[in-house]
A and B are shown apart, each in its own frame.
Chain A
Amino acid sequence: DAGVIQSPRHEVTEMGQEVTLRCKPISGHNSLFWYRQTMMRGLELLIYFNNNVPIDDSGMPEDRFSAKMPNASFSTLKIQPSEPRDSAVYFCASSLGGQAQWGTGELFFGEGSRLTVL
């Protein structure tokens, strides 16, 4: 079985440019998470989707960040305009479960997208 697939694996861009990160969750999983990981702050939840609907976006830093999930097999995280402080590894994770029925709560992570904003 293919795991969670993220692209690109690495992105280097200049401040002010638009960045789009992509994620294909595991087939059949109905929950999708976007996380950001830095040395200073560890893993931070940015946004959580359940059945393609955004449930919690309280972790999205500011209006520069937006996320969409147009269907069960694809999600994007967009940063516009990008800033140097956005440099981090962005992970997408998927899982079975939902708001009220979390189950075992195991998240399956992609390999991450390492973003560097110059």
Chain B
Amino acid sequence: KNQVEQSPQSLIILEGKNCTLQCNYTVSPFSNLRWYKQDTGRGPVSLTIMTFSENTKSNGRYTATLDADTKQSSLHITASQLSDSASYICVVSVKEGYQLIWGAGTKLIIKP
């Protein structure tokens, strides 16, 4: 069964600290993996996409990694800011189709 699991479920850190969010998937055949950020009361917005051949990709203070062998991805946030408080959702695309397998998300709270 295609599944995406994220950990932790929630995380509280102090402003300025770093954090890493995890995403494990059992999706086949794999097409790509995308991280979305969802601010409270808003729709999800794409942060980055990881394809099979990519190991690391950065977008400002966000760095995503993908290990296709172990089927794991992480999202590392450096020097967190209050505006990083949001839910972060991992979603995997199934190849040759329209199916998207969504994780439950990690709720990140940044405290001043």
Q: Are A102 and B31 in contact (CB under 8 A)?
A: yes
Chain B: interface residue count, which band? 20 to 34
Within 8 A of A (CB), among B78-112: 89, 93, 95-98, 100, 102-105
Q: Are A112 and B42 in contact (CB under 8 A)?
A: yes
Within 8 A of A (CB), among B30-69: 31-32, 34, 41-46, 49
User: Across the interface, which residues of B come within 8 angstroms of A106, CB to CB?
Assistant: 34, 46, 49
Q: Are B98 and A93 in contact (CB under 8 A)?
A: no
Mask, A46-86, CB within 8 Å of B = 1, is: 00101000011000000000000000000000000000000
Q: Are A112 and B93 in contact (CB under 8 A)?
A: no
Q: Are A100 and B31 in contact (CB under 8 A)?
A: no
Known A50-B98, A97-B98; judge A105-B31 contact (CB<8 A).
Answer: yes
Q: Are B98 and A91 in contact (CB under 8 A)?
A: no
User: Across the interface, which residues of A come within 8 angstroms of B105, CB to CB?
Assistant: 42
Number of A residues, CB within 8 Å of B: 24
Which of B44, B93, B96, B105 is the most central at the interface, judged by chain A CB atoms within 10 Å of its CB? B44
User: Across the interface, which residues of A come within 8 angstroms of B104, CB to CB?
Assistant: 42
Q: Are A102 and B98 in contact (CB under 8 A)?
A: yes
User: Across the interface, which residues of A come within 8 angstroms of B93, CB to CB?
Assistant: 102, 105
- Chain A residue, CB-CB nearest to B105: A42
Mask, A21-38, CB within 8 Å of B = 1, is: 000000000010000000
Distance A112 CA – B49 CA, assembled complex (angstroms): 23
List A residues at the B interface (Cβ < 8 Å): 4, 31, 42-43, 45, 48, 50, 55-56, 91, 93, 97-100, 102, 104-107, 109-112
19 contacts between A and B (CB under 8 A): A42-B89, A42-B102, A42-B103, A48-B98, A97-B98, A99-B98, A100-B96, A100-B97, A102-B31, A102-B95, A102-B98, A104-B49, A105-B49, A105-B93, A105-B100, A106-B49, A107-B44, A109-B43, A109-B44
Query: Would you list the 7 A-B pairs with minimal beta carbon distance, nearest first?
Result: A109-B43, A105-B93, A42-B104, A43-B102, A106-B46, A109-B44, A99-B98
